[in-house]
Amino acid sequence: MTAPLVVFFVLAALAVIGAVSLILQKHPIHSALSLIVVMVAIAGLYLLMGAEFVAAVQIIVYGGAIMVLFVFVIMLLNAGVEEHTNLSKMAGAPGLLLVLALAGFVAATVAKSGASVQATSQTGALSSTKGISEMVFKDFVYPFELTSFLILVAILGATVLAQREKS
Amino acid sequence: MRSLLAANAELVITIVKIVLLLFIVLTVNAYLTWFERKVVAHIQSRWGPHRVGPHGLLQPLADGMKFLFKEDPTPAGADKFVYYLAPLLALTLALTSIAIIPFGPEPIRLFGRDIYLGIAPPDLNIGILALFAITALGVYGVALAGWSSNSKYSLLGGLRSSAQMISYELSLTMSVVGVLLMAGSFNLRDIINAQARHPERGFFGWNVWPQILGFFCFFVAAIAETNRAPFDLPEAEQELVAGFNTEYASFKFAMFFIAEYTSMITVSCLCSIMFFGGWLSPFPASWTLTHYLPSVVLIPFGLWVIMDGVRYETIFGRMVLPVVGAAITALGALFVVVPSLNEFIQAPFWLLSKIFLFLFVYVWMRGTLPRFRYDQLMAFGWKLLLPVSIVNVILTSFVILMWGAK
């Protein structure tokens, strides 16, 4: 086993363990911490693929900014341990089916596109900052701008909703 | 054994570098506390620490012993795992960030290998981004410490800290975009080299002049990010006892302390590298006489320490200080005698001088400025720093588009 492969399995295991623990943890802060582990592990996987810029941005934006906001809100609301109700019997069977379907779908996709995923990781389009910015600001400039517009609308909406009513 | 060493030479060198840098950074940290107490004391017309060792120079050692031997209670109702994790996280991330900083341009040739000063490889393309990624995670140490202690003062400190970090991280990142545009790279070495494009201008060729707005935003935001005065609301003594670290004692408290001082060093490194030319000399490249400046600083300082030492009131001081002074003088003389060594230390000398200057400014501000009120802090971050840094990005982009990055 080569060194990158070992690192890959360690990071992948961390990501999966983090994701499972995110669901199983009782306390919101512990769940948030698990999510941070997932984010950082995925950033490590990006780094392993040679996508340094994406890895750094993944940690700065998701690991840093967004998760800090999560933790902040959980602390601000002082959310306690969540209460578990008895699982609905109705939800069990369809849930299991859905899980199986999703797992099958993911497995099929990975099996089918294994070769092409490797090919894109080696072209290096995503590895350099220049390549990424050319993709975002040239090839996909309209979807990108539309997305930012959408986020702007969401910010404005949140501001309007949060505003105190004028007396 | 030999072949194993040869096969993993890169790994061995990196480990040696890490141990060496850790030793240096922790020592500097310890003496930074001494320096801060001395400077603040003199600002307030006091003497500062002066009992332990000559001029209080062994005070950091005494403090360290005290940290190690104090009782270490865990508060009732604390979330044990997170409570222990938080200081570890803060310290690890703070120390990791130092690894990205390059300390000199030229590699040393040892054992037939080029060894660069600094741990990260010299061609690290995401240099500054990697640093921001590490500091972005740094807030968790403080926030989680506040939450897990199960104390209202700690929680308020943690809350304030995370709110402050979220607000100032934006301007911190935006303020360096101008520098990145001028250098065309995230690599810290490239950023320094880009400032050497006018070797005859020296000091006036550095980024701080075209990027004066960016520097202002960066420095203020960086002070806020490191939770230092006048932005030290997360540990405001008058309101929150000690803020997020109220419930921490003994070495866990020391870990927060070391983390804070290490991030001060990182920020000072970044300021020097991004805006003040890193290891470049402030004098025009054609001036060769200035290369003796390290000796000009070291020899008189060493002589002064000797003079001061022989007149010192304690016997211990009379024994130690002259020896230290003689060592400093000898070092200064060595640089004069061996020109190749003198050439080599030029870059680290300037970088370290700049870092020292910024650390002094840090302490100076703490001794001078009163703390912000909370609403002032938020208004300052969102209504002044963020717009100014955005304007700086737009201005810089336009200038570079029109005239190129000169």
**Residue B56 zone, left/alpha/beta (φ > 0; ψ -120 to 50; rest):** left
pLDDT at A158: 87
B102-126 pLDDT per residue, tens = 887 877 777 667 777 777 777 777 8
B161-218 pLDDT per residue, tens = 888 888 888 888 888 888 888 888 888 888 888 887 777 777 777 887 888 888 888 9
| A66 shares contact with chain B (CB less than 8 Å) | no
Q: What's B203's DSSP letter?
A: G
Contact B143 A71 (CB under 8 A): yes
Backbone CA torsion sign across B139, B143, B146, B149? negative
Cβ-Cβ contacts under 8 Å between A and B: the total is: 76
B139 contacts B162 by C-beta, under 8 angstroms: yes
Average pLDDT over residues A87-114: 82
Residue in chain B nearest A36 by alpha carbon: B137
Give the DSSP letter string of B40-83.
HHHHTT---S-SSSGGGTTHHHHHHHHHHHS--PPPTT--HHHH
In this predicted structure, the answer to whether residue B276 has a pLDDT above a threshold of 80 is: yes
pLDDT at B196: 79
In this predicted structure, the answer to whether residue A81 has a pLDDT above a threshold of 80 is: no
Picking from B88, B96, B131, B137 by the largest number of A CB atoms within 10 A of its own CB, the best residue to mutate is B137
- Neighboring chain B residues of A35 at a CB cutoff of 8 Å: none
Overall CATH class of domain A1-80+114-123: mainly alpha
pTM beyond 0.90: the answer is no
3-state SS assignment for residue B288:
coil
In this predicted structure, the answer to whether residue A153 has a pLDDT above a threshold of 90 is: yes
CB atoms within 10 A of CB B89: 23
CB atoms within 10 A of CB A160: 8
Give the DSSP letter string of A25-66.
-SSHHHHHHHHHHHHHHHHHHHHHTT-HHHHHHIIIIIIIII
B372-393 pLDDT per residue, tens = 888 888 888 888 889 999 999 9
Count each helix (H run) and each strand (E run) in chain A, helices first.
Answer: 7, 0
The complex scores an ipTM of: 0.77
In this predicted structure, the answer to whether residue B406 has a pLDDT above a threshold of 80 is: no
3-state SS assignment for residue B178:
helix
- C-alpha B389/C-alpha B391 separation (Å) is 5
| B165 shares contact with chain A (CB less than 8 Å) | yes
